[in-house]
Copies of this chain bind each other. A is one copy, B any other.
Amino acid sequence: MRHDHVLTAKQFSREDIEAVLDRAADFDGPTGGTRHTNTLLGLLFFEPSTRTKMSFETAIKRLGGDTIDMGSIDSSSVSKGESLADTVRVIEGYADALVLRHPQQGAAKMASEFVDVPVINAGDGAGHHPTQTLLDLYTIRENAGLDDLSIGIMGDLKYGRTVHSLAHALATFETTQHFISPESLSLPAEVRYDLDEAGASVTEHTGLESVLPDLDVLYVTRIQRERFPDENEYRAVADEYGIDLAMLDEAKADLSIMHPLPRVDEIDPAIDDTDHATYFDQAHNGVPVRMALLDSLL
């Protein structure tokens, strides 16, 4: 993938994914190096996402490189009316690759058309966030394998960009995907259509109970307060689509529970001390996966 742009998880073939995950496994652990000394990664976060930013920073620094951070847009040339095309063309002169987070869908693709260095999409609004998908896949593979897998994906399936990208990527493996959500937050018809087209094995549910015993992985997402007209309605849904220790009696002993974090109340902290809790490892996996991706691009 040397010198490619990374715009969406859809651009990866099954072989691409496996190559990155294999390389990530090499980088998992206290690995560091001087492989990319003098490599500078430009960070352009047009909206805050500290977690993603810190993970990219850690990845490039563990590889021996460093970052150049545009900082918040209030203090940048953007506030003087500069276009995104101009901003990326200037910063391309400072950095060997650009990581772009932008509230507008399609921003990364647009930016990639103006520069010669690789652009990595770190989230473009309702669009894509391919490195999140890669770290999710890595975590699933480490814990349950990607084939012969039964995964439940629960919570906000309507607006959850993470979920859509993951579902598409899983469709290239031998997995069965069970989607669990309230009616009002169920999988968009077009996503379901694409999964069916790809030959994915998919079921949809409004409750976790019936499907929980079959799962190898349960991927929980945050239900956002702002999707609901009032606090009561939000609380009712949030409680129903959360998980606590008692419910796990019905689960496989080796069920892995994942969550893209931050969580609020979706997962009972009492689960943190069980072997089911995989969400902190999942966050940590962002580092070896991004190291592997950067290493393959630079």
Task: Say if the beta carbon of A62 comes within 8 Å of chain B.
Answer: yes
9 closest A-B pairs by beta carbon, nearest first, are A93-B284, A32-B38, A48-B75, A82-B262, A77-B262, A58-B94, A50-B76, A90-B283, A81-B264
Partner-B contacts on A (CB < 8 A): 32-34, 37-38, 40, 48, 50-51, 53-55, 57-58, 61-62, 64, 66, 68-72, 74-77, 80-83, 85-87, 89-95, 261-264, 269, 280-281, 283-284, 286-287
**CA separation between A74 and B70, bound complex, in Å?**
17
Number of copies: 3
B263 touches A94 (CB 8 A): no
**CA separation between A81 and B226, bound complex, in Å?**
13
Residue pairs across A and B with Cβ atoms less than 8 A apart, 30 shown, are A32-B37, A34-B37, A38-B64, A40-B58, A48-B75, A50-B71, A50-B77, A51-B76, A51-B77, A54-B68, A54-B69, A54-B91, A61-B68, A66-B66, A77-B261, A77-B262, A80-B264, A81-B264, A82-B263, A82-B264, A85-B269, A86-B261, A86-B262, A86-B263, A87-B262, A90-B261, A93-B280, A93-B283, A93-B284, A94-B287
Contact partners of A83 in chain B: CB under 8 A: 269
Contact partners of A77 in chain B: CB under 8 A: 50-51, 261-262
Contact partners of A76 in chain B: CB under 8 A: 48, 50-51
**CA separation between A68 and B284, bound complex, in Å?**
14
Q: Which of B62, B81, B284 contacts A262 (CB 8 A)?
A: B81
**CA separation between A64 and B89, bound complex, in Å?**
24
**CA separation between A34 and B61, bound complex, in Å?**
14
Nearest neighbor of A95 in chain B, beta-carbon distance:
B58
Contact partners of A87 in chain B: CB under 8 A: 262
B50 touches A75 (CB 8 A): yes
B62 touches A50 (CB 8 A): no
Contact partners of A90 in chain B: CB under 8 A: 51, 261, 280, 283-284
Nearest chain B CB to A74's CB is how many angstroms away?
A: 8
**CA separation between A75 and B50, bound complex, in Å?**
7
Contact partners of A74 in chain B: CB under 8 A: 48
B32 touches A82 (CB 8 A): no
Nearest neighbor of A61 in chain B, beta-carbon distance:
B66
Nearest chain B CB to A207's CB is how many angstroms away?
A: 25
**CA separation between A37 and B262, bound complex, in Å?**
30
Q: Which of B40, B91, B261, B269 contacts A62 (CB 8 A)?
A: B40
B54 touches A94 (CB 8 A): yes
Q: Which of B57, B64, B71, B95 contacts A68 (CB 8 A)?
A: B57
Nearest neighbor of A55 in chain B, beta-carbon distance:
B94
**CA separation between A89 and B269, bound complex, in Å?**
12
Contact partners of A287 in chain B: CB under 8 A: 93-94
Contact partners of A261 in chain B: CB under 8 A: 77, 82, 86, 90
